[in-house]
Amino acid sequence: MSVELVIVPVSEPECRLVLDPAGVQASSPSRERDVARFFDLSTQMLAIATFEGDFVRLNPAWEKALGYSRGELRGKPLASIVHPEDGALLSAQLDLLQTATEALNSIELRCRRLDGSYRWLSWNNVALGAERLIYVTVHDITQRKTEENALRESEERLRLLVEGVHNYALVMLDLTGRVLTWNAGAERVHGYKSDEILGRSFSIFEVASDVAAGKPEKLLKLALEQGVAEDEGWRVRADGTRFWANVLLTALKDQNARLTGFSKVTRDLTAKKQAETLLKAADLQNAIFNSSNFSSIATDERGVIQIFNVGAERMLGYAACDVLNRVTPADISDPLELIERARALSLEFGAAVAPGFEALVFKASRGIEDNYEQTYVRKDGSRFSSVVSVAALRDAQAAIIGYLLIGTDNSARMQVQESLLESQAQQRTIVENISEGVVVSDLDGQLLHFNCVALDLLGYTSLEQGRRYIIELADTFELCGLDGTPWPVSEWPLARILRGEKLSDLEGRMRRIGEDWDRCFSFGGNIALDATGQPRMAIVTFRDVTERKLARDVASRMNAELEQRVAERTAQLLTANNEMEAFSYSVSHDLRAPLRSLDGFSQALIEDCADKLTEDDLDNLKRIRSASQRMGQLIEDLLKLSRMTRAEMSLQRVDLSKLACEVLDELRSAEPGRGVEFEIQEGLIAGGDQRLLRIALTNLFSNAWKFTGRRADSRIEFGCSGPEDARTYFVRDNGVGYDMAHAGKLFGAFQRLHAIHDFPGTGIGLVTVQRIVHRHGGRIWAESTLGQGATFHFTL
């Protein structure tokens, strides 16, 4: 702990004023009492000591400040409560007072309290030489002292820090960027002494181009806006050299947040940067040198191996220690190859080259770049092929100090070549064995290759025969389209492919000129691209489709014949149809006319000659009439049936329920006397021809109506079953029914299952219904039990 001694000068009169208590004391007893009271009441420590330094009298304030009783201190030396380190100071001051060179002094001392702690006390001592007494006024300055010390220590530390920092330039700038303070680090970093730089703008540190670009101002602005601005870049020293710097600019603000200036911390990173760069370069070199993909062998100028990298170790099987300073690369090379190389070099350069290391570096030693294929002999005696690049190593004076032989692992390349050859062989095998002919040409149309099939197809016996230009083939072959149109050479498949067309299934005929050789081929092909997408060659494939063509011709001829036959049949059918219509027409006219005559004239006889004829005669005439009319009806029904088959269908939505009601109404009105119960399901809608369906329903209901005629409780039902898309409709009656044994005859024309006198009819009705149902793509069937009615089912 430091101690400060403060000497306070006191003027003479003031001193006297204070130091003349005796005078005051003497003047009156009450005054003396007052003084004594002041002495006792003073909060300041007051004491009288002897010249020797012992307490004589103390006021009560001492007790309060230090904890001792006055009795404990009285008669004791002052020094007994003073810090041992301050003892000397005290005694020196007391000495001064005694020698009377100074009658008055003031010292600050640390004094021990009763509890052992220390207080800083300021002692004002006044010596009265005559009485050999010292009057002491003491007050406690511990508080001030502690604060002062703390401040001092802090400032000192900061100063030491700033002064002592050599690696950083710590500089204060004013608002405009002028330098206010300069530390040792700044001197070291920037190279200016403080008197050279103080007051100058910090832009002096920047390189000219940055100054021109306004960088210093920008940095200040940035620091002002963001509080801090950091920048890394080149700076200029006082001597003009550059250094790589990291600069941190901080805005300084006072308690009122008013800008007072900037602090600038600059660090020289040049060394670090260089180190980084060096490190990188060294790493790179190391990485290259240690790459196991290259054998790097460095020798001295005589060829003795000095460096043998991991690549060399891996490729050649030697450890570096096996060869370093022991052998030359020639010692681990194929000797025969060396001899050959030496011979070749001797010939080339007209100088004797020894079949040793010299042969390996001869060219390099003469400054000629040299790359060659070299066979090393591995430690285990096996051979290893390498492509070696040789360079001479020279010192600063260009004298050769060694050689560097860098070799690549050629075996990998050899392997690639082998696998390439293998895959080529495979490809060749494929090309040779596919069933199509393959011809390969270069982009100029020179035919490079024919596979066996191609040779075979073209009638060549050897590859040599086939190796021609496309144009030469025109001497041998003619090509034409299947339709016989000749193809000029420029339209031959290869020519088209060479123009960039992609062909597939192009069929054409090929003929050998002057020979009986005529085949049909299907051609294909395209330009083949290499790995980089560049056109490399043209490929034409072709296969013999002569047989296929023949087969196809036969097929198409048969097709044509078939079509012809179909056309003929159609025509015949049309004719038949027309004939049928003509027939129907004439039936309608010509067959009916005689019937009319039969009927008419029979009737005329009956009318005109009734009185001349017997009953029997009349009956016979009636029979003629009846038969005529019946035949007329038959013809009528036949014509209807024929019309049913021929009529155009017009499909629409038909409300079968409504249709059934209408038909039944007609039946009822035709025979109003009959009481028949109907049950017609509602909402039966179907797609069909309304007119035809009406005829069908009319026939079915007429039948039902007819065959229920003998029952009193006749009942006819119409309904459907099944899902909407596969409905089955039915017409059911409770009439006489029929025997299912004859069901097969139901739908035959003119087939009747009942005697004509029981139930009249021509046997055409159900055939007509069946025709109509069939024309709607449906089917119809019936079920019945004799005497228990019949049900007709149909679909549409």
Partner 1 sequence: MERVILLVEDNPDDEKLTVRALKKNNIANEVVVARDGVEALDYLFGAGAYVGRDPGRVPALVLLDLKLPRIDGHEVLRRIRADDRTRRMSVVILTTSGEEQDLIDGYNGGVNSYIRKPVDFTQFTEVVRQLGLYWLVLNESPHSVLQVGS
Q: Catalogue the long-range contacts made by 283-288 (C-beta closer than 8 Å, 24 or more residues apart).
A: none
Of 588, 681, 728, 791, the one binding partner 1 (CB under 8 A) is 588
- Shortest distance, CB of residue 718 to partner 1, whole angstroms? 28
Is residue 595 involved in binding partner 1 (CB under 8 A)?
yes
- Shortest distance, CB of residue 480 to partner 1, whole angstroms? 57
The nearer residue to partner 1, 48 or 606, going by C-beta atoms, is 606
- Shortest distance, CB of residue 733 to partner 1, whole angstroms? 30
* Separation CA 794–CA 766 (nearest Å): 12
Of 573, 593, 670, 685, the one binding partner 1 (CB under 8 A) is 593
**Residue listed under structure tokens 């005051």:** 24
Beta bridge partners of 721: 728
- Shortest distance, CB of residue 744 to partner 1, whole angstroms? 32
401: closest CA among 352, 357, 365? Answer: 365
Of 258, 302, 589, 653, the one binding partner 1 (CB under 8 A) is 589
- The 3-state DSSP class for residue 68 equals coil
Is residue 623 involved in binding partner 1 (CB under 8 A)?
no
- Shortest distance, CB of residue 609 to partner 1, whole angstroms? 14
- Residues in region 635-664 near partner 1 by CB under 8 A: 636, 639, 643
Binding segment toward partner 1, per CB under 8 A, in 183-191, 223-231, 333-341, 592-600: 592-600
Q: Extract the tokens encoding 548.
A: 């296929």
- The distance between the two most distant Cα atoms of the chain, rounded to a whole number of Å, is 217
Of 629, 681, 702, 728, the one binding partner 1 (CB under 8 A) is 629
- Shortest distance, CB of residue 791 to partner 1, whole angstroms? 33
Is residue 500 involved in binding partner 1 (CB under 8 A)?
no
Of 38, 372, 585, 750, the one binding partner 1 (CB under 8 A) is 585
Judge residue 311's burial from the number of C-beta atoms within 10 Å of its C-beta, 0-12 exposed, 13-18 middle, 19 or more buried. Answer: buried
Residue 106 makes CB contacts below 8 A (sequence gap 6+) with 6, 7, 8, 122, 123, 124, 125
The nearer residue to partner 1, 91 or 603, going by C-beta atoms, is 603
Binding segment toward partner 1, per CB under 8 A, in 35-43, 484-492, 588-596, 744-752: 588-596
- Shortest distance, CB of residue 775 to partner 1, whole angstroms? 17
Is residue 610 involved in binding partner 1 (CB under 8 A)?
no
Interaction mask 311-350, partner 1, x per CB under 8 A: ----------------------------------------
Judge residue 374's burial from the number of C-beta atoms within 10 Å of its C-beta, 0-12 exposed, 13-18 middle, 19 or more buried. Answer: buried
Q: Extract the tokens encoding 270.
A: 């040049």
- Shortest distance, CB of residue 629 to partner 1, whole angstroms? 5
Of 231, 268, 436, 599, the one binding partner 1 (CB under 8 A) is 599
Binding segment toward partner 1, per CB under 8 A, in 246-254, 259-267, 323-331, 626-634: 626-634
* Residues 270 and 278: beta-carbon distance below 8 Å: no
- DSSP code per residue over 232-279: EEEEE-TTS-EEEEEEEEEEEE-TT--EEEEEEEEEE-HHHHHHHHHH
The nearer residue to partner 1, 588 or 620, going by C-beta atoms, is 588
Name the residue type at position 664. L
Binding segment toward partner 1, per CB under 8 A, in 95-103, 594-602, 611-619, 704-712: 594-602
Binding segment toward partner 1, per CB under 8 A, in 73-81, 205-213, 253-261, 587-595: 587-595
- Shortest distance, CB of residue 767 to partner 1, whole angstroms? 19
Provide the edge-to-edge strand list for the sheet that holds 486-487: 447-450, 437-441, 535-544, 518-529, 503-512, 477-481, 486-487
Of 60, 317, 632, 709, the one binding partner 1 (CB under 8 A) is 632
Q: Which residues of 233-269 are buried (b: 16+ CB within 10 A; e: fewer)?
A: eebbeeeeeebbbbbbbbbbeeeeeeeebbbbbbbbb
The nearer residue to partner 1, 247 or 595, going by C-beta atoms, is 595
Is residue 596 involved in binding partner 1 (CB under 8 A)?
yes
Q: Extract the tokens encoding 371.
A: 């790359």
Is residue 582 involved in binding partner 1 (CB under 8 A)?
no
Beta bridge partners of 255: none
- Shortest distance, CB of residue 588 to partner 1, whole angstroms? 6
- The 3-state DSSP class for residue 689 equals strand
Of 275, 321, 550, 604, the one binding partner 1 (CB under 8 A) is 604
Is residue 628 involved in binding partner 1 (CB under 8 A)?
yes
Is residue 594 involved in binding partner 1 (CB under 8 A)?
yes
The nearer residue to partner 1, 428 or 646, going by C-beta atoms, is 646
Name the residue type at position 420. L
The nearer residue to partner 1, 309 or 602, going by C-beta atoms, is 602
Q: Extract the tokens encoding 502.
A: 């992609």
Binding segment toward partner 1, per CB under 8 A, in 106-114, 182-190, 376-384, 596-604: 596-604
Q: How far apart are the first and last CA of the chain?
A: 126
* Residues 74 and 91: beta-carbon distance below 8 Å: no
Number of residues that bind partner 1 (CB under 8 A): 24
The dihedral built from the CA positions of residue 256, 258, 260 and 266, taken in this order, carries a sign that is: positive
Binding segment toward partner 1, per CB under 8 A, in 40-48, 163-171, 437-445, 590-598: 590-598
* Separation CA 331–CA 308 (nearest Å): 14
The nearer residue to partner 1, 367 or 594, going by C-beta atoms, is 594
Binding segment toward partner 1, per CB under 8 A, in 199-207, 476-484, 561-569, 601-609: 601-609
Task: Establish how many alpha carbons lie within 13 A of residue 397's alpha carbon, considering only the half-sphere containing its beta carbon.
Answer: 2
β-pair type (305-308, 242-253): unpaired
204: closest CA among 239, 175, 163, 162? Answer: 239
* Residues 225 and 208: beta-carbon distance below 8 Å: no
Is residue 600 involved in binding partner 1 (CB under 8 A)?
yes
Of 597, 721, 785, 788, the one binding partner 1 (CB under 8 A) is 597
* Residues 298 and 307: beta-carbon distance below 8 Å: yes
**Residue listed under structure tokens 């307490």:** 55
The nearer residue to partner 1, 512 or 592, going by C-beta atoms, is 592
Is residue 368 involved in binding partner 1 (CB under 8 A)?
no
Q: Catalogue the long-range contacts made by 450-459 (C-beta closer than 8 Å, 24 or more residues apart).
A: 454/542, 457/519, 457/521, 457/542, 457/543, 457/544, 459/512, 459/517
Is residue 102 involved in binding partner 1 (CB under 8 A)?
no
- Shortest distance, CB of residue 624 to partner 1, whole angstroms? 11
- Shortest distance, CB of residue 772 to partner 1, whole angstroms? 17
* Positions in the binding site for partner 1 (CB under 8 A): 585, 588-589, 592-597, 599-604, 625, 628-629, 631-633, 636, 639, 643
